Amino acid sequence: MSSCLCQQDRNQQNRKADGTEEPTERSQQIKKKKKKKKKKKKKKKKKKKKKKKKKKKKKQLRTRGRW
């Protein structure tokens, strides 16, 4: 047996009659945290892309002799 009995009992309590699980407070917190992390990562990626674009434009102007 991989999981302890008390964990199975807890899982049983979270299940409704139709077999679907009621989300626990902990699982909701984890879900929220993951969503926040994903949003932060996306924002960081966007910022990095913008910075790269700006740098490229500046370099292009310099090579043409315009600052």
> For residue 13, what pLDDT is reported?
67
Q: Would you say the C-alpha torsion 37, 43, 45, 51 has a positive or negative sign?
A: negative
Which tens digits make up the pLDDT trace of 10-66? 666 666 667 666 677 888 899 999 999 999 999 999 999 999 999 999 988 888 776
Closest CA to 24 of 34, 37, 10, 35: 10
Closest CA to 12 of 30, 29, 2, 24: 24
The domain limits of the chain are 5-63
The pTM of this model reads 0.41
